A and B are shown apart, each in its own frame.
Chain A
Amino acid sequence: MSTMLLDIHALRQTFPRADGGEFLVLDGIDLELAQGQIVGLLGRTGSGKSTLLRSIAGLMPPSSGTITYLGQPVLAPAPGIAMVFQGFALFPWLTVLENVQLGLEALGLPDAEIRKRALAAIDLIGLDGYESAYPRELSGGMRQRVGFARALVVHPNILLMDEPFSALDVLTAETLRTDFLELWGDGKLPIKGVVLVTHNIEEAVLMCDRILLFSANPGRIIREIAVELKQPRNRLDPQFRDLVEKIYVAMTARTQAPTRTGPVATSIDTILPRVSANLLSGLLEALAAAPYNGKADLPVIADELHLEVDDLFPVSDGLQMLHLVEVEGGDIKLTDIGKQFVDADTDERKKIFQRQLLAHVPLAAHIRRILQERANHVAPRSRFFDELEDHMSTADAEETLRSVTAWARYAEAFAYDDDSQTFSLENPT
């Protein structure tokens, strides 16, 4: 009998695919949460970290493997596991007090007890005076405080946090984090362990005792990093910076795993990052300019450009796919073609972009080839969509097709008409 709050073993999650097959989201997940720990789940988009959180919350029964909470398998929402949501998930028609009381009412407690505990939670989280306000009257930060109060009031053993600060502005997020850590450090929170999903590396280092790094498609844990810095942590502390750098390096390492983990488009079914051509050339230009002059430390340039991991990595992935940059060991570097691109004028840039796109993104080359083969040079979108859907989820197929369309438009490689939903080789003249 383990003393673990939460014990996940060999968890696998799949989603049904359009062709009747299955799409693997999480694979071989092992995770233990001990009392008094904050565990961070860190990974890029598509790494299944939110899926893992929802599995722990009992919102998705495992496809295989086990989730054990205090010795019991989790197959449905368990008492003692509460969640704080990214978009707050407050009921707009209930007041702050009513929102906080909701979880207690579901427990069937007597009215007096409900009221007492709700007011105590409101007091603890700093919402005094707002009891009768409706969520729409509150700022984002105050709304998320309600989200916290609502979760804490049921006295959960485990608190699940799904990117709770990412919808807030920088200053508000920092205040809320600090307040939370203070209460947690002082032992004022009625919780025993926390699982935090985040895409913000600094946030993870600031808050967590252990950080699990996820690879994407499918999500696997690639690395576990223990954070032994004392609370309160200082972002400028060299040890803090080292850890951030270390995580960047780990997250950009060329993975030796066989398929579809690195940002290299190997076949037409590679999921393409959703980045505009503008962002791509924007990062190239920033990289070429002083003080980087073609080579930059990822955390440094991310900080400079105010980009978080979820914003930065898709751009660097896209550029890497097109062989315009190289990323290794936490550094990003312009390739020779990348340099040519930055120096060129608009028309020349488009030509370079088209060459790289058709050479290194198989889906773009595939669409163009099909269009060339057809007598009228027109093909319906559904033809490619169905093809993609056999290899990825509907949402990913949607995204990938949209990305390739956006890139091809910039490169003038082929055109797309949204009214008729067809690709064609003709650009309007």
Chain B
Amino acid sequence: MRLNVPISVGGWGRFFSRWDVVAVLLILGLLMFVAGASRHMLQPLSELQGQPVSLDPANLPEYAARTTLRMLLAMALSLIFTFTYATLAARNKYAERLLVPLLDILQSVPILGFISITIVFFMALAPGRVLGAEFAAIFAIFTSQAWNMAFSFYQSLRTVPTELVEASRNFRLSPWMSFWRLDVPFATPQLIWNMMMSMSGSWFFVVASEAISVGNTTITLPGVGSYIALAIEQRDLTAVGYAILTMAIVILIYDQVLFRPLVAWADRFRFEQEPGLLPPRSWMLDVLRRSRLVDRLTRPFAVVWRHLLLARWPERAEPAKREPRTPRHGWITFQWVAILAAFTALALWQVGRFVTDDITLSDLGTALLLGLATLSRIVVLIAIASVIWVPIGVWVGTRAQVANLVQPVAQFLAAFPANLLFPIAVSAIVALRLDPNIWLSPLMILGTQWYILFNVVAGASAIPAELRAAATNFRVRGWLWWRRIALPAVLPYYVTGAITASGGSWNASIVAEVASWGNEHLQAFGLGAYIAQETAAGDFHHIVLGIAVMSFFVVVINRVFWRPLYLYAERKFRLG
């Protein structure tokens, strides 16, 4: 398995480039624009209420189906986005310079903070109708899925083997045809892996985005998320249990019916075949492949697909590899720079107006201080999770049979929306009168720690048998074995997992640092709580401030800490 780093690790170079600055400005500008627009729209919408949700467990299958449908629609959107955005970034070097940093920054924007802003914005587009809220929820899920998929697709497009590109050009495949015949198949295994990750991550957000209160507006969409929100309000632990059970079943079905077959099917697209690894299997895929009925039903689609694939578009001149320096070329550059400059200026103006409007320096100071509090929590949590899961991961990974059992479980746990478990933890904290500043923290990493585990397991199982045999032969044991063999070998994998875990924890802090159980409200001192609080108050300027500061923390930590660490680990400890 090629390592799948969720951040841009393009090269050593500087920590930040001017393109990062442009990307940050554009995103901030857009956020502030939407926030500003939403603020004015908030009032007339305050009466809107979705359908009432009931705690009757008989409703749960329907709620689960609705929640799942939202996820699927968002996934379809994410795929469309991936194919267009990433292709543009990989094919056009002007676009690439901006689109890649943009994606990298977008990945660090905490989606949960974002939901409140977009939900009001979308509802304003379709006022008074549930459709607006539905669309906002789907958009929120989309934002939690799309970035890493686009990123992976972009990286795959950049690494398509030269000989294959030359072959498809030599045999004069049209750009359309070589996209579907070469680029997409080559990128498929990585993309499917990322779709799984996205899906896992977004269960968390779908649950959080179904029941949200912004100022006086409460939006409730029927689904598992709003069911659990109601259960919390009514302090109904049995209902919480039903919701957890439903979710577990849904994720299991998803895994067996959608992703296992996809992974097994995508195995044929893997470019390099590692020896000794069993190809993934799926009973579902076997059934589909062997069934005559399925074959007959899908045949018409296959025919249509084949015609689409072979469709001949009006012939265009092949793009020459080397662009000649003609005036036209310069003109395009000029236009591009001009448009970009205009947008950046607009964004700058937006940010400037925003800052001078009613954000004071002390507001910024507060947000930064709160950010530090959350940061220290995350550092401690990642450290604790690492101390626990790295040894276990190595132990599991070096035992193939155990690994085969544990790996799907870890992936399942990563997919399970940990926020469903919050009520149980919170009721315990309330009952035992524990300090929320300490005891709310573990909730942040509840769902994300599994990324560390399954990446380390993958890393440990990738240690070549010969290397392990050599260690045994030289009687390398105990601490020496860990220090010289196990830890270096899993480091690149561990870093990959830890980046995902820490990014996810920042996001989770928005729901984990504040928690309620009926009328009891718990709150920790941190940036996540700040954003949640401002959301409840409907104060858009401070929400944006919180989001900006959180993104700032995530980006800086990624660039200054994780990226150098990853590059170092990758260069020094990569096996083979």
Contact = CB atoms under 8 A, between A and B. Distances in A.
A57 B170 contact: yes
Interface in B149-180: 161, 163-164, 166-174, 177
A154 B173 CA distance: 13
A88 B167 CA distance: 9
Interface size class of B (residues with CB under 8 A): 20 to 34
B320 interface: yes
A79 interface: yes
Nearest to B188: A93
A92 B271 contact: yes
Contact of A59 (B166, B177, B312, B317): B166
Interface string A30-65: 000000000000000000000000100111110100
Interface residues of A, number: 34
A61 B164 contact: no
Contacts of A54: 166
A82 interface: yes
Nearest to B311: A108
Nearest to A421: B12
A60 B170 CA distance: 11
B310 A136 contact: no
> Which 9 A-B residue pairings sit nearest by Cβ, starting from the closest?
A76-B318, A103-B171, A89-B163, A89-B167, A106-B173, A93-B185, A83-B170, A93-B269, A108-B312
Contacts of B468: none
Contacts of A180: none
A275 to B, nearest CB: 24
Contacts of B312: 108
B310 A105 contact: yes
Interface string A75-119: 111010111011111011110000000110111100000000000
Contacts, number: 78
A419 interface: yes
Contacts of A410: none
Interface string A346-372: 000000000000000000000000000
B299 interface: no
Interface in A112-137: 134, 136
B181 interface: yes
Interface in B275-320: 310, 312, 317-318, 320
A83 B166 contact: yes
B572 interface: yes
Contacts of B166: 54, 57, 59, 83, 85, 89
B328 interface: no
A103 B167 CA distance: 9
B269 A82 contact: no
Contacts of A94: 181
A419 B269 contact: no
A22 to B, nearest CB: 11
Given A60-B322, A106-B177, 8 more contacts: A54-B166, A58-B318, A75-B318, A82-B170, A93-B268, A102-B181, A108-B310, A136-B273
B321 A60 contact: yes
B169 A59 contact: yes
Nearest to A114: B310
Instruction: Select the residue from B161, B172, B273, B317 with max chain A CB neighbours within 10 A.
Output: B172
Nearest to A76: B318
B171 A154 contact: yes
Contact of B170 (A59, A91, A93): A59
A102 B173 contact: yes
